[in-house]
Amino acid sequence: MAKTVYIAGLGLIGASMALGIKRDHPDYEILGYNRSQASRDIALKEGMIDRATDDFASFAPLADIIILSLPIKQTIAFIKELADLDLKEGVIISDAGSTKSAIVDAAEQYLAGKPVRFVGAHPMAGSHKTGAASADVNLFENAYYIFTPSSLTGQDTLEEMKDLLSGLHARFIEIDAKEHDRVTSQISHFPHILASSLMEQTAVYAQEHEMARHFAAGGFRDMTRIAESEPGMWTSILLSNRETILDRIEDFKGRLDEVGQAISKGDEEQVWNFFNKAREQRQAMEIHKRGGVDSSYDLYVDVPDEEDVILRILELLRGTSLVNIHINEENREDIHGILQISFKNAQDLERAEHLITENTDYTVVVK
Ligand code: NAD
């Protein structure tokens, strides 16, 4: 039976979800709320949604499923508002917020005892882009789509959500909201704090040591890439996961002190072990598989510095979709080839590896 789905927030995530839902359920009616007219117009014009409003409450009673794809604070405000509306019996309410405990706690507080279902969710894909104009039907392909069930979630809730979102081609997984926030604080939130601190430290240092700006290369770029993220989103993420992040900061200070002491003592073995342990741990971790934000499948080709060489490789890859192409300025030990090509999935990567090895003599490294 065709359903009515209401997506509140037609930003990058909300509009991409609308496209993914339409892919498998073209008969579903998708209603959209957005504060600004620009994203409402784009979503209507591109056929992502069927009807649009700037009055959140007006469409809510029509929906079988409501997805809030808004900043965390606004998600909580709308959950509170939904509690006072006359919604369809058994409606499923879900969200897309990057932290889960605060949202799930709010839902349990405001929606308990109402004839509604709720399941917190975090689609672990995205980019630095915002707004409906950046929507991408393949955004969630192979990415984890995390559900955080609570007292307002039943098994049927999850089954219905997975069916609704089948066209996203994501990997659904369930985890407790608090555990979600602990895990993401370590692998996502805290690294953003580190990247921005490192960037700031370097910028201040470079005021007196000008060449720091010019010598910064691959390693520094990799470490600080995420310092370019959208400040508003990260402020709201950190402030809605405070205790867990403060715990990670304290833990890290201890680690820095430890390596500092080893350096101060000149303890060669301890310093070597420090680096070696981290290297082994990184090699053992599944970070090369697409799992979260911005990860991709990378292939490196050691191409000679010759005219048209890159064009020749791209010609071989005609028909294979690339997500990025990068020419590394220098070929060092931490870089595996001058030409770095990123793919969205393992099949495209394998195909490219095969095509380049079959048709050229260049060394190809998959990492
Ligand atoms: P976006 O900036 O593209 O869209 C945000 C949406 O929220 C827009 O529709 C905007 O109009 C609306 N909005 C903002 N403030 C509002 C307010 N005060 N009142 C009403 N509407 C308001 O952002 P996005 O990337 O689509 O993020 C949406 C949610 O998804 C956020 O909770 C974010 O944490 C989460 N998320 C983002 C990513 C990512 O990488 N972009 C990944 C996973 C989850």
Same-domain pairing of 229 and 157:
no
Domain boundary among 140, 157, 174: 174
Which residue is closest in CA terms to ligand 1's atom 13? 70
> Two tokens at 73?
């604070």
**Nearest-atom index, ligand 1, CA of 126:** 40
Q: Which of 12, 140, 226 to mutate to test the pocket of ligand 1 (most atoms within 8 A of CB)?
A: 12
Q: Can you tell me the distance from the alpha carbon of 303 to that of 288, in angstroms, rounded to the nearest whole number?
A: 23
Q: For residue 221, how far is its CA from the centre of ligand 1 (angstroms)?
A: 27
Same-domain pairing of 237 and 299:
no
Are 98 and 122 in contact by the 8 Å Cβ rule? The answer is: yes
> Two tokens at 128?
């630095």
Same-domain pairing of 29 and 160:
yes
- Tell me, yes or no, whether 335 lies in a domain: yes
Same-domain pairing of 65 and 147:
yes
Q: For residue 249, how far is its CA from the centre of ligand 1 (angstroms)?
A: 26
Same-domain pairing of 130 and 169:
yes
Same-domain pairing of 158 and 184:
no
- Tell me, yes or no, whether 163 lies in a domain: yes
* Amino acid 335: pLDDT: 53
Q: Which residues form ligand 1's pocket by a CB distance below 6 Å?
A: 9-14, 34-36, 39, 69-72, 74, 96-98, 122-123, 126-127, 130-131, 233, 293
Domain boundary among 260, 282, 304: 282
* Amino acid 294: pLDDT: 46
Helix, coil or strand: residue 226: helix
Query: Taking each helix axis from N to C terminus, what angle separates 72-83 and 101-111, rounded to the nearest 10 degrees?
Result: 10
Name the nearest CA neighbour of 120 among 156, 158, 90: 158
**What is the domain extent for residue 199?**
178-282
Q: For residue 75, how far is its CA from the centre of ligand 1 (angstroms)?
A: 9
Q: For residue 185, how far is its CA from the centre of ligand 1 (angstroms)?
A: 19
pLDDT less than 70: residues of the chain: 287-295, 329-337
* Amino acid 50: pLDDT: 98
* Element at 7 (helix H, strand E): strand 4-8
Which residue is closest in CA terms to ligand 1's atom 5? 11
**Nearest-atom index, ligand 1, CA of 232:** 2
* Amino acid 323: pLDDT: 84
- CATH code, 198: 1.10.3660.10
Same-domain pairing of 329 and 256:
no
Same-domain pairing of 36 and 166:
yes
**Nearest-atom index, ligand 1, CA of 36:** 11
* Element at 202 (helix H, strand E): helix 190-208
- Tell me, yes or no, whether 290 lies in a domain: no
Which residue is closest in CA terms to ligand 1's atom 7? 70
Structural domain tally of the chain? Answer: 3
Domain boundary among 123, 145, 174: 174
Q: Which of 49, 54, 69 to mutate to test the pocket of ligand 1 (most atoms within 8 A of CB)?
A: 69
- Tell me, yes or no, whether 288 lies in a domain: no
β partners of residue 122? 146
Residue entry with tokens 């809510």: 60
* Amino acid 1: pLDDT: 85
In the chain the first and final C-alpha atoms are separated, in Å, by 45
- CATH code, 77: 3.40.50.720
User: CB-based contacts of 311: which residues, under 8 Å, 6+ apart?
Assistant: none
Which residue is closest in CA terms to ligand 1's atom 20? 35
Same-domain pairing of 168 and 186:
no
CA 234 to chain centroid, in Å, comes to 12
Q: Can you tell me the distance from the alpha carbon of 258 to that of 264, in angstroms, rounded to the nearest whole number?
A: 10
Same-domain pairing of 70 and 109:
yes
Q: For residue 303, how far is its CA from the centre of ligand 1 (angstroms)?
A: 41
Same-domain pairing of 150 and 31:
yes
